[in-house]
Every structure is written in C-alpha cells, then in structure tokens.
Amino acid sequence: MPDYQTHTYDVLVIGAGGAGLSAAIEASSAGVSVGVICKSLLGKAHTVMAEGGIAAAMGNVDERDNWRVHFADTMRGGQYLNNWRMAELHAKEAPDCVRELEAWGALFDRTKDGRILQRNFGGHRYPRLAHVGDRTGLEMIRTLQDHGIHQGIAVHMECTVLRLLTADGRVVGAFGYDRERGRFLLFQAKAIVLATGGIGRAFKITSNSWEYTGDGHALAYHAGAALMDMEFVQFHPTGMVWPPSVMGILVTEGVRGEGGVLRNKEGRRFMFDDIPELYRAQTADNEEEGWRYTQGDRNARRPPELLTRDHVARCIVREIKEGRGSPHGGVFLDISWIKERLPKAEEHIKKKLPSMYHQFKQLADIDITKEPMEVGPTTHYMMGGVQVDGDTQMSTVPGLFAAGECAAGLHGANRLGGNSLSDLLVFGKRAGRYAAAFAKENTAGAIDADQIQQAAAAALQPFERSGSEGPYQVQQKLQEIMQDLVGIVRTESEMKQALVEVEKLRQRAAKVSVQGNREYNNGWHTALDLPNMLTVSEAVTRAAIEREESRGAHFREDHTAKSAEFGKINIVIGKGADGETKIARRPIPEMPAELKQTIEEMQ
C-alpha cells in the first residue's frame, strides 16, 4: 500500500476559483466541515484574470433591464441549447450574488448616484456588467478569499487531485498529491464539488494558464459522470498576436465596450459587413449609432463589434484568411480613435482600461491611447463540461457536484461575456448548498483500497521509466493538433485525423519519463496532467464530429448551416462498462410556456 495522509470532511471542494470558493463558503455556513483543494496558491486561480465584469440584471444604469431580458439574452447567445432552468436561475439570482459580494467588501465602480455601475458587453441588451476597471476577477476572488479564510474552511494549497474514489455508485473521496513534497493524500468526503475550471491548455493559442488541463472533466468522466456539450469551445475574438511570446493573452471585450473598433488593413470596419439575422434588429447599421451606444445613448443599438464572440471571431478569421489582416496575422483593434470624440480621451482610456494599457505598454511596446492593437482569436472558455441538474448542480453520479467552468448547461453553444463570473457565484453557491445537504443526509462511504493502489502506481510510473521523451513534447504536440484540426473552423476529415493523432499521443504519454524526485517537480506534474488533457481532447473531438451543423462556437465547414434537428439535442459523452467512450444525443427537455413566452417577447 502506498503511504498517504488522510483528511476527512463532510464536503470536499476541488478548486479555489470563484466557483469553488463560493461553494465552500456556502457549504460551511450550512454547518458542515469543508475542505478546499487547489493546484496553485490561494487567490491565483483563473478567476483572478477575469477582466470585464460580472453580468447581473440589477438595472442600475438602465432600469429597463430585468431577469427576463438577461434570461433571453443568455438563451439567444447559447443558441437555445442551454439548460433553460440554469439560465433562468442564473438571471434571477445573479443580482443578489453581486450585492452579497459588496457586503463582503468588494468595491465596484459607481454610478453618479452611488450605486454599482454597469457596463456594456457583447450580447447583453442593456449595460449589465458590474465591474472594477478591468480587474473585476481580482476583486471577486480576493473578496471571496478574504471572506472565506475566516469561515473555518481548511485550504490545501498546491495539491492536485488525481482520481475520484467511488463505492456503490456514489462518490466517497478523492486521491491526490501535494506538489511541494510529492506526498500522496486521501480525502474522504460525503460529497464532492468539482470547480476545476476549463481545458484551454489543450490548444496552442490560449488565454488560459497551465492549470487548465481539464482535470475536473476527466475526473468526472472516469468516475462515471456524463459530460455534455463538449464540442463547444469558445474562441475569444481578441487575443494578443504579437510578440510571439504573448500570443493568446486576452484583450478584454471591455475595449470594444468602451468604444474600441475592429478594422482590417484597409481601414474598413469589417464587422458592419456581416450581421447575422438573429441580431439584425438589435445592431447598429452605421458607425455614428454604434458610438452613441457605447457612450450610453439608450436609443442607440449596439455596434457590430459587440456581437457574440463566436461570430466576431469568425469574421476576424475571414479577414485574415482573405489577406486583409494586420502585419502579424491579426486585425486592428483601435480604442485610440475615441480622441476624435472625447476630450481627455487618453486619461479616460487609462482609467477605464488600466491593465490593458499596462499589458500592451509593457509586453508589446504599444501605447493603446495612441495606436491600434493587433488582435486575433484565442482559445478562451469551455462551455461544455459535467452534466448537472439545474437546481442542485449534482452530476449523474450521486454525491458528485460540479459548478463554474467545468460544469455544462448555462451557456449552451456560446457563452456571453460576463456570464461566467455570475455563473460562479450563482451555481457555486447552489452546489455548496446542495452538497452540504447531501452530506447531512448520507454517511461516509467505504474507501476501496484497490482504487488508491492503482492511482498511486500510475502516478509513480514516469519515475520508473528512463530514457524516453519528457512530457512537454507530448503536450506541445497535442496543443498543435487540437489547434489545427479541431479549432475555430472544423471538418469531419480533419477531426477524424485528430482522433488518430490523439491515440498516438496516448501511447507516447504512457511512456514519458521524468527526471528528479517527487519534490515540487513541474515535469512530473505535467506528466500527470497529460492523461486528462488527452481525455478531454478526445471528448471534444468526438462531440464535434457528432454535431453535423454549425451553431454558436462550433463551426463546421462541411455543414455550414444550422440544423433544426441538432437544435433539439445536447451531445452527451460517458464511459462505458468496458472503458469505451459512449456518445449519445440527449433531447433537450421542453421549456415551460412562461419561459418560451419571455423569449418571444424579447425578440
């Protein structure tokens, strides 16, 4: 038997981003014991990087906003594949969650009358994003962290979960290691909340950090839970493209919300050339009206730069492919032009977008108050994930919950900006509440020593091999394959090729060796992340082959139209009894008449 330390909690939360911390706070205030595990130090999770804001229909800037409008916007953005119950709860509960953050010390930018200010963002009909300049995620995670540490929650920083432990069809614990010493850890728990974030590291150009290796998706899959909507990977239209070392780093949509415009090398605002039917009525058809919208004119319609991300990303790809791109293979994003319209524009930009100013100045020698930026699409967000119940966030495995980016449902085929941070708060809280309830109703399950044995043995194998290649080469190759063959524009033949390549990489991954010992060994950590990346890459590819249509973030060159048939189903992936991947089409449940009517009214 391997050596390990044991920790026992009623509820174990895996992940300390916005979703994990919200879940932990809620569960502990329900009176159960709570442990939180995270791969990085506390406060460094992805949530810290979020820039633009938190979507919540508070109506502080435009009182016409309310949950119904937010619900309809979210469903339209998701092309109606969303779990409508989640979209409904999210729209209804987000405002209170934002107010709760304020009560815990978060300081949002203010309106003239002293309330929380809200800004415009793509796909949201009214100004809806509560924000703090362009560092909203930092404000959010710090507030949750500082509140959480006084709640008696046990935090295990720099620990990684390798496997979920199951017994009698439910989850009973988790097995992992601490990064610092490389010692094994057993967490016994009555309920587990997965809040592990996304999968962006499976792609070459990404705004995501090393943490985003799809661990939660893979852990859930191997524990027998169903994954849903895996074909929907969001490519954010604006990532940095130059210099090469910063390629993929995000340029917040807030730039466009503040009046930034996209141009090709001919100086044309190409977004006016292609406005989808679904959005025509809500989109400005001239530059003047678009500008007025960004400056708060309530009678103006939004400029086409603020159309949904999938669409803007594809328009950019088209411009680049057709030879109208910028020198370094992107397009131009210009905020400096607003000096033609605003006095003191430079100061205004620095005030509204301080970290963007800083980022370009320091990393690319570009002063965004004076010259345009060059931008191109970057892998950003995973809409797909663990299939959960809309109310409780429980997966198809009893006792296993999921919230935040690693859960599926709220965003459907495409997420609106700002809807993630609110997702974390609303569903993190719900997952925490129902996990606590589950823990109260159930006793601890028995731990199966075989499962521990297997996980430990697999984890140590890379040390026992020698002379073979290291993990980084395999990781890089996978990133290239996914980027090239399962990226923004997809076709069946390329994706089938990707499956073949992924299988080859699986063989290579099974042979990688690492040098050194178990203490804080990044090479070993990377070797252990590889199987998860391969699992999610395969799931993404299979789901993308299955969906023979183009919808939201999923664009098929060989099926460019939307299909009514595929509009009625979600694609679900699960692990079969013999370890094989099962793929199924799950009909979307009928929406209640009241919600249907809401959507009609908001057309």
List Cα–Cα distances, 205 to 66, 202, 368, in angstroms.
37, 9, 22
537 binds, among another protein, ligand FAD, none (CB under 5 to 8 A by kind): none
- Residue among 31, 169, 243, 592 that touches another protein (CB under 8 A): 243
Report yes or no: 416 and 122 within 8 Å, Cβ to Cβ: yes
CA 71, 77, 83, 84 dihedral sign is positive
Binding region for ligand FAD (CB under 6 A) out of 58-66, 258-266, 417-425, 510-518: 417-425
Report yes or no: 136 and 142 within 8 Å, Cβ to Cβ: no
Q: How far is CA 432 from the centre of its chain?
A: 19
Q: What is the nearest approach in angstroms of another protein to the Cβ of residue 481?
A: 17
What 3-state DSSP class applies to 520? coil
463 binds, among ligand FAD, another protein, none (CB under 5 to 8 A by kind): none
472 binds another protein (CB under 8 A): yes
19 binds ligand FAD (CB under 6 A): yes
Binding residues among 144-183 for ligand FAD as defined by CB under 6 A = 160-161
Q: What is the nearest approach in angstroms of another protein to the Cβ of residue 105?
A: 4
The kind and range of the H/E element at 358 are: helix 354-364
Cα separation, 86 vs 88, in Å, equals 5
Convert residues 209-228 into a mask of x (bound to another protein by CB under 8 A) and - (unbound): xxx-----------------
The beta strand positions in 400-483, using DSSP E, are: 400-402
Token digits of residue 209:
């950090």
- Residue among 2, 4, 29, 40 that touches another protein (CB under 8 A): 40
Binding residues among 352-411 for ligand FAD as defined by CB under 6 A = 381, 404-405
Pick from 543, 508, 507, 532: which is nearest to 210 by CA?
A: 532
476 binds another protein (CB under 8 A): yes
- Residue among 11, 12, 27, 49 that touches ligand FAD (CB under 6 A): 49
46 binds ligand FAD (CB under 6 A): yes
Q: What is the nearest approach in angstroms of another protein to the Cβ of residue 430?
A: 21
Instruction: Give the CA-trace dihedral at 472, 474, 479, 484, to 10 degrees.
Output: 140
197 binds ligand FAD (CB under 6 A): yes
Q: What is the nearest approach in angstroms of another protein to the Cβ of residue 131?
A: 12
236 is catalytic: yes
Binding residues among 572-601 for ligand FAD as defined by CB under 6 A = none
- Residue among 74, 120, 326, 420 that touches ligand FAD (CB under 6 A): 420
- Residue among 2, 4, 8, 42 that touches another protein (CB under 8 A): 42
Burial of 47 (0-12, 13-18, 19+ CB in 10 A): buried
Q: How far is CA 187 from the centre of its chain?
A: 26
Question: Quick one: angle between helices 354-364 and 345-352, nearest 10?
Answer: 100
Pick from 163, 225, 177: which is nearest to 451 by CA?
A: 163
348 is catalytic: no
- Residue among 15, 122, 237, 412 that touches ligand FAD (CB under 6 A): 15
Cα separation, 131 vs 61, in Å, equals 13
Pick from 326, 346, 335: which is nearest to 267 by CA?
A: 326
The total number of residues written for the chain in this structure: 603
Report yes or no: 108 and 130 within 8 Å, Cβ to Cβ: yes
Binding residues for another protein, rule CB under 8 A, total 64
Pick from 311, 301, 283, 236: which is nearest to 52 by CA?
A: 236
Convert residues 70-109 into a mask of x (bound to another protein by CB under 8 A) and - (unbound): -----------------------------x--xxxx-x-x
Q: With helix as H, strand as E and coil as C, how does 304-322 read?
A: HHHCCHHHHHHHHHHHHHC
Binding residues for ligand FAD, rule CB under 6 A, total 41
Q: What is the nearest approach in angstroms of ligand FAD to the Cβ of residue 47?
A: 4
Binding region for ligand FAD (CB under 6 A) out of 18-26, 66-74, 99-107, 385-393: 18-26
User: Catalytic residue among 256, 302, 415, 430, which?
Assistant: 256
CA 480, 484, 489, 491 dihedral sign is negative
Cα separation, 362 vs 350, in Å, equals 14
Residue facing ligand FAD at closest CB distance = 17
120 binds, among ligand FAD, another protein, none (CB under 5 to 8 A by kind): none
Q: What is the nearest approach in angstroms of another protein to the Cβ of residue 86?
A: 25
Report yes or no: 189 and 9 within 8 Å, Cβ to Cβ: yes
Q: What is the nearest approach in angstroms of ligand FAD to the Cβ of residue 253?
A: 7
- Residue among 10, 73, 139, 423 that touches another protein (CB under 8 A): 139
Q: What is the nearest approach in angstroms of ligand FAD to the Cβ of residue 399?
A: 18
Binding residues among 225-264 for ligand FAD as defined by CB under 6 A = 250
Cα separation, 32 vs 154, in Å, equals 12
327 binds another protein (CB under 8 A): no
> 187 or 360, CB closer to another protein?
360
- Residue among 48, 97, 153, 455 that touches another protein (CB under 8 A): 48
- Residue among 24, 26, 32, 51 that touches ligand FAD (CB under 6 A): 51
Query: DSSP labels for 188-230?
Result: EEEEEEE-----GGGSSSBS--TT-S-HHHHHHHHTT--EE-T
Taking residue 126's Cβ as centre, other Cβ atoms within 10 Å add up to 18
Convert residues 351-370 into a mask of x (bound to another protein by CB under 8 A) and - (unbound): ----x--xx--xxx------
User: Catalytic residue among 236, 302, 525, 559, which?
Assistant: 236
425 binds ligand FAD (CB under 6 A): no
The partner residues of 227 in beta bridges, in order of sequence, read 386, 573
412-432 in b/e form (b: 16+ CB < 10 A) is bbbbbbbbbbbbbbbbbbbbb
Binding interface with ligand FAD (CB under 6 A)? 14-20, 37-40, 45-47, 49-53, 136-137, 160-161, 195-197, 207-208, 211, 215-216, 250, 381, 404-405, 417-421, 424
Question: Which residues are known to be catalytic?
Answer: 236, 256
Binding interface with another protein (CB under 8 A)? 40-46, 48-49, 99, 102-105, 107, 109-110, 113-116, 132-133, 135, 138-139, 142, 146-147, 149-150, 157, 180, 209-211, 242-246, 249-250, 355, 358-359, 362-364, 470-473, 476, 514-516, 519-524, 526
